[in-house]
Structure 1
Amino acid sequence: MTEFCSTTGVSHHLEQIIKNADDKLIIVSPYLQINERLKDLIQDKDRMKIDIRVIYGKNDLKPEENNWLKSLNSIRTNFCKNLHAKCYLNDKEALITSMNMYRYSEVHNNEMGIYVSKDSDPKLYSDIYDEAKRLIRYSEEDINSNDKSTSDVFKKQSNTKNNSNKSDNGYCIRCGDSISLNPMYPYCKKCFSTWKKKGDENIEESACHICGKSNKSNISKAKPTCYNCYKKYKDTYEFPLG
């Protein structure tokens, strides 16, 4: 179902998107000042250890909001310069809207939006999800998000984004050749060029990026490792959403 929403409809679907999140929740809002009802729902998803991403565009977060975000364990926050988009999605549905996740907007502003169900319009949902992931890649992750120590975050960033640790060897998930270990970029140059022609993040590949073992039915760019390696290293390296 694709549905036009007025202000009340936007508020309703935003709450439902948070409540219905089973695997992931992405919040894209330039301004953040979250009401208590939505905070309770997000905290419940945090307790369930769902992957939560918050992308915001104003770096003057109020101390109260900043401290609350840091108190959550499963949430990662990203600052995106020049962000103006407002988008909320989980693994089954998405909402594109004019409304920030901001208390004043919910109460005083006239808003509108478009609600999209993945089942009824998978192509539109996929386009929204892909753009949300692009914003995550484009934005800058807060080093203090998730209440991790600076050293833990630096370790994660150096292993994944800079690949400065040359002793970390991984495997190309398509041909199995040895490459730098980085789950966000699990192909050698040749295989990445081949993959890019189709660009399907869920196409089946041949080898786990970390251990190199063949596990074709479960490996893809979206999920580049076997379950055992993901479970072992999920707090050490950054993994794609999916």
Structure 2
Amino acid sequence: MNKFLTGKDLENTIYNTIWETKSRLLIVSPFIKLDDYFKKLFDKHENNPKIHLILVFGKNEKAVQKSMSKADFDYFKKFLNVSIIHVPNLHAKYYGNEKQGIITSINLYDYSFKNNIEFGVYSQQSILDKFKASADNDAWNECMKIAKNNEVVFIKRPVYENKKLIINLSKNYVKSDILFDSTDKFYGFSKNKQSENKRLNDFAEELELGSKPDIRPEREIELKTEYGFCIRSGKKIKFNPKQPMSKESWKIWNEYGNEDFPEKYCHKTGKASNGKTSMRKPIM
């Protein structure tokens, strides 16, 4: 069943999609901004490891906080089973759970829900519909394809203790583990922009207590030091033994130009040299 929606009907259908989720919630929205009402909807699932929350957001590759604030990002990190993916060229919007989905123009943005004129097409499905071609199946599959082909920012997964019983097989939830977190890279808190890129398929949907990760570890590459220290002031500067002083210190030194004049610091380590370094010998 497909239905065109706008206004309050569209808003309430999206609210219900979030609220009534039982096992999986997929949200694709370039811009995400939560008010207290949205948080009340999501908070219902905060302690439920059975619900996999998949967030796909995008735009503003050089200023990710314009697409989703750090505060909202941190809010989603508290959920027990969550995947957050960044798509730089995302413009599509979709909200779906295991029973229904909405292809729409509206972002998960409080202002949009309160002020904008937005449209959407709603699809409701039964178990049998999952095996049939439909707009919602196509939308879900396309959104998951986008999620799987783009860079993961944060992954947290539930850990279960398996107990084999005579009658049935059950599993007890124990905790949730953060498997990947590149928040600092995306929000500009890390100078290392070349950290490893991960995809959704790199991570299992759930973990067994005591199991070891099946992802091959990467060898850490030791980065060469690209900075040094002024041998006169100790100020951090570009590493260059041929010019081991800051501009200010060099102007003073250049008045006499004595290459053997004792200086105070080691150009490479920044440690006090007690006069053992000079322009001719800047490194201890």
SS at match of 1:76: strand
Q: Which runs of 5+ in 1 are unaligned?
A: 162-181, 184-222, 224-228
CA deviations 1:137-175 (Å, max 9, x no partner) are 1221104778837589999x59x64xxxxxxxxxxxxxx
> Does structure 1 residue 132 correspond to structure 2 residue 143?
yes
For 2:161, the equivalent position in structure 1 comes to none
For 2:28, the equivalent position in structure 1 comes to 28
Kindly name which structure, 1 or 2, has the bigger radius of gyration based on alpha carbons: 2
For 1:62, the equivalent position in structure 2 comes to 69
Number of residue pairs the alignment of both structures matches: 172
Question: Residue 141 of structure 1: which of 119, 134, 152 is its match?
Answer: 152
SS at match of 2:144: helix
* Identity within the alignment, %: 22
Question: Residue 98 of structure 2: which of 83, 87, 91 is its match?
Answer: 91
SS at match of 2:106: coil
Quick one: which amino acid aligns to residue 21 of structure 2? A
CA deviations 1:55-100 (Å, max 9, x no partner) are 0013222232122122333222110110000000000100010000
CA deviations 1:153-207 (Å, max 9, x no partner) are 999x59x64xxxxxxxxxxxxxxxxxxxx86xxxxxxxxxxxxxxxxxxxxxxxx
1:3-22 equivalences under 5 Å are 3-22=3-22
Distance 1:232 1:71, change over 3 A: closer
TM-score, structure 1 as length reference:
0.61
Structure number having the greater helix percentage: 1
TM-score, structure 2 as length reference:
0.52
For 1:38, the equivalent position in structure 2 comes to 38
1:192-203 equivalences under 5 Å are none
> Does structure 1 residue 107 correspond to structure 2 residue 145?
no
For 1:52, the equivalent position in structure 2 comes to 53
For 2:173, the equivalent position in structure 1 comes to none
Quick one: which amino acid aligns to residue 32 of structure 2? L
Quick one: which amino acid aligns to residue 17 of structure 1? T
Separation in 1, partners of 2:212, 2:121 = 35
Question: Residue 72 of structure 1: which of 79, 91, 99 is its match?
Answer: 79
Deviation at 1:116, TM superposition (A): 0.3
1:198-217 equivalences under 5 Å are none
SS at match of 2:45: helix
SS at match of 1:47: coil
Deviation at 1:52, TM superposition (A): 0.5
Separation in 2, partners of 1:95, 1:47 = 25
Contact 2:17-2:100 within 8 A present in 1 as well = yes
Separation in 1, partners of 2:98, 2:147 = 16
Q: Which runs of 5+ in 2 are unaligned?
A: 158-176, 184-194, 216-284
Distance 1:18 1:4, change over 3 A: same
Structure number having the greater strand percentage: 2
Distance 1:151 1:126, change over 3 A: closer
CA deviations 1:21-44 (Å, max 9, x no partner) are 111000000000022222222122
Distance 1:116 1:62, change over 3 A: same
Contact 1:89-1:95 within 8 A present in 2 as well = yes
Distance 1:6 1:136, change over 3 A: same
Contact 1:2-1:117 within 8 A present in 2 as well = yes
Quick one: which amino acid aligns to residue 99 of structure 2? K
SS at match of 2:102: strand
